[in-house]
Chains A and B, each alone.
Chain A
Amino acid sequence: MNITRREALLIGAGGAVMLALPSIAQAKGLTEEAIASFTGGAPIAEGGVDLNTPEIAENGNTVPVEVSAEGATAILLLADGNPTPGVATFHFGPLAGSSSASTRIRLSKTQNVVAIAKMADGSFAKATREVKVTIGGCGG
């Protein structure tokens, strides 16, 4: 069987896509699973959540993140490109001064940080920010 140069390139490209797909699909699937288990499959509105992250994080080991959502009883933070997407879930009690919190998180590479707020009336809202990471925070 003769394989032309063109065919060889196609096969190579196909192989690369096949290799790349499962890992991307897996991380996205995990993020969606985490969202679904938080919301119970309820629809999520855009807006109503303030998520502050740096646009570029030089050091992925400690990325400052600030999230607030007026009237939220809980906020779920996710990083969709980490080996496991979960970051933290904040629950606001009766003495919370506001539904806001800041912390520092690890990001393994450039990716989206997602915040999902559960409102007092049971609805959900979401905000997404992309953070470019220069040095990943999951090495060893």
Chain B
Amino acid sequence: MAKIKPRVKVPSKAEAGEVITIKTLISHPMESGQRKDKSGNPIPRKIINKFVASFNGQEVISADLAPAVSSNPYFQFEAKVPEAGEFLFQWTDDDGSVYEAKKKIKIG
């Protein structure tokens, strides 16, 4: 299976209090559990079921996901940047693993 790799696009700088747009993508098959393999056996479900974005420990957005989210789940949203700090993005897999990405942002 392809390696699960998160990718995040955050501007490197912002004004204090500015609202910025963040784009995230994680390569993941989002196996829905509806499909069958060649011999007709159902392929077990394996999806990212939760996504959380936070900044300096405060939540920006979280999402509970169902199998109807496309493979390589993509999210775009807006965040307020009150101060310099670090964004933390976490994706939780059905198998319990958590994939993380971090991005620092400066004020100026």
Interface residues of A (CB under 8 A from B): 61-63, 79, 82-84, 86-98, 100-107, 137-140
8 Å CB contact of B60 from A83, A88, A96, A102: A96
B68 proximal to A (CB < 8 A):
yes
CB-defined contacts of B59 to chain A, threshold 8 Å: 91, 93-95
8 Å CB contact of A140 from B34, B67, B74: B34
- Number of residues of chain B lying within 8 A (CB) of chain A: 35
Interface residues of B (CB under 8 A from A): 19-21, 32, 34-37, 43, 54-55, 58-71, 73-82
Secondary structure dominating the interface of A: strand
CB distance from B53 to the nearest CB of A (A): 8
CB distance from A50 to the nearest CB of B (A): 14
CB-defined contacts of B21 to chain A, threshold 8 Å: 97
With A93-B54, A101-B77 in contact, do A106 and B63 touch (Cβ < 8 Å)?
no
Instruction: Compute how far the CA of A138 lies from the CA of B71 in the bound complex, rounded to whole angstroms.
Output: 12
Q: Which of B43, B58, B65 has most chain A Cβ within 10 Å?
A: B65
Q: Return the chain A residue nearest B53 by Cβ.
A: A93
Instruction: Compute how far the CA of A87 lies from the CA of B63 in the bound complex, rounded to whole angstroms.
Output: 10
Q: Are the CB atoms of A89 and B63 closer together than 8 Å? A: yes
12 A-B pairs with CB atoms under 8 Å apart are: A87-B69, A88-B69, A90-B62, A91-B59, A91-B62, A95-B58, A97-B60, A97-B80, A104-B69, A106-B67, A106-B70, A138-B35
Q: Which of B36, B62, B69, B79 has most chain A Cβ within 10 Å?
A: B69
Instruction: Compute how far the CA of A101 lies from the CA of B69 in the bound complex, rounded to whole angstroms.
Output: 13
Q: Are the CB atoms of B77 and A100 closer together than 8 Å? A: yes
With A93-B54, A101-B75, A140-B36 in contact, do A87 and B66 touch (Cβ < 8 Å)?
yes
Q: Return the chain A residue nearest B76 by Cβ.
A: A102
CB-defined contacts of A82 to chain B, threshold 8 Å: 68
CB distance from A108 to the nearest CB of B (A): 8
Instruction: Compute how far the CA of A102 lies from the CA of B67 in the bound complex, rounded to whole angstroms.
Output: 16
CB distance from A28 to the nearest CB of B (A): 16
CB-defined contacts of B67 to chain A, threshold 8 Å: 84, 106
Q: Which of B35, B66, B69, B75 has most chain A Cβ within 10 Å?
A: B66
CB distance from B23 to the nearest CB of A (A): 9
CB-defined contacts of B62 to chain A, threshold 8 Å: 90-91, 93
CB-defined contacts of B73 to chain A, threshold 8 Å: 103-104
